[in-house]
Amino acid sequence: MTVASSAYWDDLVADLADPEFLRAYITESLRVDTIDRLVNDLDHAREKLGLSKADLARAISAEPAVIRRLLSSGQRNPTIGTLVEVAAALNLKVVLVPMAESERAEYAEPLRAGSVKEPAKLARRIEDRRRSRHSVTA
């Protein structure tokens, strides 16, 4: 670990002691992870059905740019309505499922409490998730 990365982690762990920062860090990490997973799953379903992005746009009466933006990497923040429409056109539906016990302990409980027992462990797990997500999508 370099001095710079060590300083980053030390600062992050210290920042996670602030309940407001902790909550923002967890919610943003979950938001990005969830959107990436949903969009990647939708794109795989589109490819499996042999639909072009233009075909998918026509199916939901949207401009092709809407689908291109949705399925492109980078900053994306689709509405639930758009996700539901795209999913339906791909023979899918959007559903909520309970978190696993480990996820509840890692994310939901710290969100409610505004604190975490092991901030370094939480930061490392979230960073590991980000890395694995980028290595899969890259």
- Distance between CA 45 and CA 92 in Å, rounded? 9
Please give the model's pTM, rounded to 2 decimal places: 0.82
| CA–CA dist 35, 41 (Å, integer) | 10
In order of 54, 97, 125, the CA distances from 135 in angstroms are 27, 25, 15
pLDDT given for residue 1 in this prediction: 53
Residue ranges for the chain with pLDDT beneath 50: 3, 137-138
- What is the per-residue pLDDT for 128? 83
pLDDT score for 57? 97
Confidence (pLDDT) at 138: 46
Please give the pLDDT value at position 99.
95
- Nearest CA to 45 out of 71, 20, 21 is that of 71
**Which DSSP helix (H) or strand (E) runs through 117?**
none
Domains and CATH numbers, the chain: 3-137 (1.10.260.40)
